Chains A and B, each alone.
Chain A
Amino acid sequence: MIRTRILPILTVVAAIIAVWYAFAVVLNAPFERSAAERAGETISFTEIVPRTMGQQRPVLPAPHQVAVEIWETTAEKSITSKRSLIYHAWVTLSATLLGFMMGTALGILLAVGIVHSRVLDKSMMPWVITSQTIPILALAPMIIVVFNSVGVTGLLPKALISTYLSFFPVAVGMVKGLRSPETMHMDLMHTYSANRSQTFWKLRWPSSVPFLFTSMKIGIAASLVGAIVGELPTGAVAGLGARLLAGSYYGQTVQIWSALLVAAILAGLLVGLIGWIGGWLNRRMGVREARA
């Protein structure tokens, strides 16, 4: 376990942090040089390096600056505080989860319709694909504004953007999954004179479960992106998206990077959770365990 799973991950993390520090030095050095120039000093490389890691508004904050910022805004703040990252993460997470659940349900419903009806297959599938070619950044403010004008604000409009992004992978994956039973299995149900709903519940649905979880992993990551994008046009009230926007207004790069990192950690946890549930269900369904 430690050698095969943890060690490779830690190696990559260490490499990323090393590269990150190197870039922090390279990108933040010009500021220090020009500052020294203005002060009429000459400054050596060994003097520059420590200064590049402690700037107020660095081009690229050093990892430990981000770590300190995250620590201060999570552990040292009450979670009800507007300055707590946990509070903002929760705002984003609740929209993500609501949107993801609606998106998954919509995706499954669409897939069931497409698989069972030739008309839906021909008419819906092109629209499902077209829907994803519209840049969400252009669409998100419209959704927020339209809902705002009819008095719907807060969670729901953001969740709808998540829904918009997450229904697609689920619909596509489930169409594939519901069509995945072998011909022989379909013939078998036919010899039993099984009706459509029996074929669906006893064959198509169980066959599609692995596909469902694979697409749900993509869907939940997309949901999180959707919720964050949905928070940008709301005037930076709350949420990780609001933190990103506020950070960029005031040039608070440390704040931006810590919000980014928290969003990434959140996405990782959510994808991991879906994967874990999927694995658990697979084992319950008797699927042969992969040999480690």
Chain B
Amino acid sequence: MSGNSVISTSALDLVFETNDGPVHALSDITLDIRKGEFVSLIGPSGCGKTTLLRVIADLEHPTGGTITVNGISPHEARLKRAYGYVFQAAALFPWRTIADNVGLPLEVMGLDRAERDARVTENLELVDLAGFEKKFPWQLSGGMQQRASIARALAVQPDMLLMDEPFGALDEIVRDHLNVQLLKLWAATHKTIVFVTHSIPEAVFLSTKIVVMSPRPGRIHEVIDCDLGDDRPLEVRETPEFLKIAHQVREGLAAGHAYD
């Protein structure tokens, strides 16, 4: 285990007891994520990628194995607000304005008004939503709502962002645009990002490390290093290096019976 590892799991197991019998959601997950990495978890539905992210966030509890986040348990890390979590949907509160939504975690943290306002302004600028403070969520497009939810996650000033298919519900044009923005954000802030997706191009474009997972039971099939350099315009997706890694991911998914 390297010294600057932020998330470290060893032989992690999670079994859900359901009415149809036990479901092995995670099996023998051993993974090390280092500071500043952009790690994508990719795999078909039911491979446990979201469950793994939720275990890291202390939203699910493993039934076996060990996991540490920042060297402490996920529970302690959550209490210390070590991460910002971005859900599949923007999950903004409809009765709050954009600014109040971004300020929500800060209210929970008990920050004073001035500090809250400063952080809201700063983070809305970061996601290009300055000027939309007073709008209500329904007045924004899906892509803008998701950007607001990213600003909300960032407002906590976490070292780590956990993102669960954040752009899954958006169309491809908006998704491309947000991918570029997210990459810029990552380059600017050096946060550790764990990103769940089922899109191969998205994973290859964004990540420094791709974790290929396969279902029944949910397990890690292969970890693929992926480094296309810090400066990645969208066009990088047509380069041979990009296609080679994408091919490798696809092979990995096939070998893990992801297409069965």
The chain A residues found within 8 Å of chain B, CB to CB, are 182, 184-185, 187-194, 198, 202-203, 206, 209, 285-288
Contact = CB atoms under 8 A, between A and B. Distances in A.
Chain B, interface SS category: loop
Given A189-B108, A202-B107, A286 B95 contact: yes
A190 B59 contact: yes
A182 B89 CA distance: 11
Contacts of A286: 94-97, 136, 138
Contact of A188 (B85, B95, B107): B85
Interface of B: 57-59, 78-79, 81, 83-85, 87-89, 91, 93-97, 104-105, 107-109, 136, 138, 156
Contacts of A190: 58-59, 78
A279 to B, nearest CB: 14
A207 to B, nearest CB: 8
Nearest to B156: A192
Contacts of B89: 184
Task: Pick the 10 closest A-B CB pairs, nearest first.
Answer: A286-B136, A285-B95, A191-B85, A192-B108, A184-B91, A194-B108, A288-B138, A192-B105, A206-B95, A193-B79
B78 A191 contact: yes
Contacts of B85: 187-188, 191
Contact of B83 (A182, A191, A287): A191
Chain A, interface SS category: helix
Contact of B78 (A193, A198, A203, A206): A193
A203 B91 CA distance: 12
Nearest to A281: B95
A52 B81 CA distance: 80
B201 to A, nearest CB: 26
Contact of B109 (A191, A192, A288): A192
Given A194-B108, A202-B93, 12 more contacts: A188-B85, A188-B91, A190-B78, A192-B105, A192-B109, A193-B78, A202-B108, A206-B95, A285-B94, A285-B95, A286-B94, A288-B136
A188 B87 contact: yes
B93 A198 contact: no
B91 A191 contact: no
Contacts of A202: 93, 104, 107-108
Nearest to B54: A187
Contacts of B108: 189, 192-194, 198, 202
24 contacts: A184-B91, A185-B91, A188-B87, A189-B108, A190-B78, A191-B83, A191-B85, A192-B81, A192-B108, A192-B109, A192-B156, A193-B108, A194-B108, A198-B108, A202-B104, A202-B107, A202-B108, A203-B93, A209-B95, A286-B97, A286-B136, A287-B95, A288-B94, A288-B138
